Structure 1
Amino acid sequence: MTLIEDWRAVLHKAWSVKFNVAATLFGAAEVAVAIWKPDGMPNGVFAGTAAAVSVFANVSRIMAQKELHGNDK
């Protein structure tokens, strides 16, 4: 496996990476809710949010992002 040449820029600027991190955090929150079972927290809230954010991650992966091409204006 070889990293792309500008992996640092992609890691810091790509929306798909940001959305994937958010989906991971929501997924982890869903696990925490399942373990601790707080009162008043409906099941699946964080899982549903993680799924929606994952859709945004996939869509943003194919969108042109000016920030990744040196046009930071």
Structure 2
Amino acid sequence: LPKLAGRPVYVTIDIDVLDPAHAPGTGTVDAGGITSKELLASIHEIARTDVNVGGGDLVEGAPVNAQSEQTGNTASKL
């Protein structure tokens, strides 16, 4: 992050980085991912820096694969 200070950055988050226990509604479910708490901490860490975030997106949510609203709820919190 220090190398990106002051530079414009676009942040893309692929929700399947999360363990399926935290986001089961994705196109590529893969056990062993990080927790939603760890991902949120990463986002907060970016926000605390001098990185100039100009935009971002959250991809790979697949509501058709979801058995509950868990993935959508997690995505909205992120």
**Fold in common (TM above 0.5):** no
Q: From the two aligned structures, give the one with the greater helix fraction.
A: 1
TM-score normalised by L of structure 2: 0.32
Task: Select the structure of larger CA radius of gyration.
Answer: 1
Higher strand share: 2
In the superposition, the TM-score normalised over structure 1's length comes to 0.33
